Chains A and B, each alone.
Chain A
Amino acid sequence: MKPLAGCRVLDLGIITAGAATSAVLADFGAEVIKIESPTYRDPFRRWLSDRPIDADPDLSPFFRATNRGKFGLSLDLKQPLGRKAFLKLVRESDVVVENFRRGVLQKLGLDFETLRAANPRIILASISSQGEDGPEAGYVSYGSTLEAVAGLATTTGYAGGPPTLSGVDLNYPDQIVALFASSMIVTAWHGRDRRDGGVHLDLSQRELTSYLSGETFVAAGAGIEEPRAGNAQAPYAVQECFRSNDGGWIALSVRDDQSSALASLGTSAADLSGWIGGQAASVALDHLHAAGVAAARAMNGREVMAAGDAVWTHALQSTPAGDLAKGFPLQFDGEPLSISREAPAIGADSDEVLRRVAKMTDAEIAALYEVGAIEVPTVRAA
């Protein structure tokens, strides 16, 4: 059995932080229903790709990669009928995930107390940049904003250089929150029979980013603020990237008990730059590995993809239709995680979900279409 077998999730998450959190829940076996308003679809549906095959403007590869394994429901929560249908779904579900701007859920009349009135056992995961309350709860942020305000940027950078960000192509805090938020939801689900009532999880991405630098707070609290040091890092005697004569960057970490290993290669900690600069990357790597020194070529994304099995096994996956998708950060031996379905086209499963889960009649569903509370489904381009 999968960890979340029998768990149903209503996913209001968008782009990465919310939608990727729910994707992990789907991987763990939950039934995840992605809900998008006809007036505000997940912006990830229209993220850039320049392949003709990805021309379907509502199913960008980024969206497909993040939302595989989910059902798709179109529902306008601003309309009374849409809100009513949502609360019917809440009654039959276990988890709601959202990463709207703070205050939006309240404005929709769907705060935690309202959800709990509909379903006393509901778990609401509110993922936000700064948390539910506090003077900066309304701060608008993207991942790299949080690196700055959480204390990570100040420890990242070349010696003597500026604080440095992970940037738009990584947006690091948006990636880690999906791991943490999903695991908190799983923890709350695990405890469901041992407590009275539901759980509201208030998850701040900024706080998570600081938590992942916990030791710098311990040091700072004792008056220790270390200057930016590039790639150097205790306890390694040397940790740096050096360029080989064929243009590759070799990343290596040399322990302080490895000076004899370097000597056996005819080099030393002080001479590594020249030694690596005098040979091809693959040759230098063979020597370093044979001497037991941790070393690897700094690869770009395309090279990582090509390296495949030598580096990774389950981080990226194929969907049943053969699309490349985000895979898993961990794997179970007994019943391996797998991707069960493609990412949904807009409103692909609206009728089925409302009938099966919300127990609505055809007439009630027709009424939702009539007032525009449900978008007419689009069909995925061939």
Chain B
Amino acid sequence: MKVKAPLEGIRIVEWLSDECSIAVGLAISFAGRVAADLGATVVQVEAPLLRARRAIDPLVDGESALSRFIDRDKQQAPAARVMEGGSADIILRDIVGADAGRASVVLVSDRAQRPDVPDSEFTLLAVGGLLDLVGDPAAEPLRLGGHQLAYSAGLAVYAGIAGELCRRQGGGAPDTLRVNIADVAVWLNWKSVAMGSWSARVPSRLGDGAEWRTIRCADGWLALVYLEADWPKLKLLVGDHRLDELRYEDRLERRRDATRINAVVEHAFATKTRAELRDIALARRIPLGPVWTPAELEHDPQYVARHFLQRSADRDGASVLRPLPPVIWNGARFGSGAAAEIRA
């Protein structure tokens, strides 16, 4: 049985100007990725940024892993041909452009108010307070791996696409929507930004002293993550009397002594493998996280059972591993813009 992809028949255009920043380009194309995965026809106006993206390291069979992920299953054509006939439902742009006809427009920018300031995804992490939160206090602030902020902005763009399609379906006239990557950064980081108004504490990176951090185990690393309710279970699992001190029943005390607590737990887990720790975490319902690599996850039991990662041939014949969209829709997993088979 097949399930029809929800965006079948919807046409979305990605149109990056010659001046478009790398971050804005990634946000727009990531939104296009989501839309294409849900069955939309996504057309990219040929642009220098898209050509440059194909050459960004690392390359897989001569084309960047980045392009193979976000630009797959999209058509490309010159602007005049893409806009011919005015059949686009939504146009994703970085600048206010020519008449969009019947299409709605999502305008994506680095930040709203300061077009004079040159930005990158990295500097937008900085102004959104996200860099300051990660890493070691004695060292430089640290970014999260990959393109988390640009892609999060892409999710916001996609939310706008879906919302605008609803508005249009309800009889609304085409609107213009705006996504500023800096706003998305602050939206993600709302707790830390707002906390200054509610608390004397200003969150910042704590390195080894963080309540949640990674610790070594026999064959790699483990994310030590727990909240109040998990503390008794963690103590029992570690079985070290040093954690039985009465003051550790108070979370603030544990926070103060996080470096010591983490060292005790690390010592206890030093002989256990990540797979063993995963089984323990699952059995005892403790939120410990073995640190898996993407290569290991291709064979991860959970991902295999849910058919989340797929190996298939790209248009040039290269065999490519990629994640499918992270939603199972009435039992079906979409991808490649086609109707999906309901899983056995």
Contact = CB atoms under 8 A, between A and B. Distances in A.
A304 B127 contact: yes
B228 to A, nearest CB: 10
A104 interface: no
By size class, the interface of chain A is 35 or more
A152 B145 contact: yes
B20 interface: no
A219 B287 contact: no
Most central of B122, B301, B329 by chain A CB within 10 Å = B122
18 contacts: A24-B159, A51-B198, A54-B198, A145-B225, A147-B223, A154-B291, A157-B142, A158-B142, A186-B163, A218-B69, A231-B142, A251-B131, A294-B119, A300-B192, A305-B196, A315-B190, A315-B193, A330-B157
User: Which 6 A-B residue pairings sit nearest by Cβ, starting from the closest?
Assistant: A221-B321, A155-B145, A148-B289, A301-B192, A3-B163, A253-B120
Interface in B54-89: 55-58, 60-61, 64-66, 68-70
Interface of A: 1-6, 24, 28, 48-51, 54, 61-62, 65, 130-142, 144-158, 161-172, 175-176, 179-180, 182-184, 186-191, 195, 199-204, 206-208, 210-226, 228, 230-231, 233-236, 239-243, 249, 251-253, 289, 292-305, 307, 309-316, 324, 326-335
Given A5-B170, A149-B290, A151-B292, A212 B285 contact: no
Interface string B43-63: 000000000100111101100
A152 B146 contact: yes
B126 interface: yes
B270 interface: no
Given A214-B70, A315-B183, 13 more contacts: A50-B198, A145-B289, A170-B192, A186-B166, A190-B165, A200-B331, A216-B294, A297-B126, A298-B141, A300-B202, A311-B111, A311-B128, A329-B183
A335 B173 CA distance: 11
Given A220-B321, A313-B183, A241 B194 contact: no
A213 B188 contact: no
Interface in B157-184: 157-160, 162-167, 169-173, 175-180, 182-184
Contacts of A300: 129, 132, 192, 202-204
Contact of B176 (A158, A167, A239, A333): A333
B162 A219 contact: no
Contact of A202 (B131, B200, B327): B327
Interface residues of B, number: 155
A145 B118 contact: no
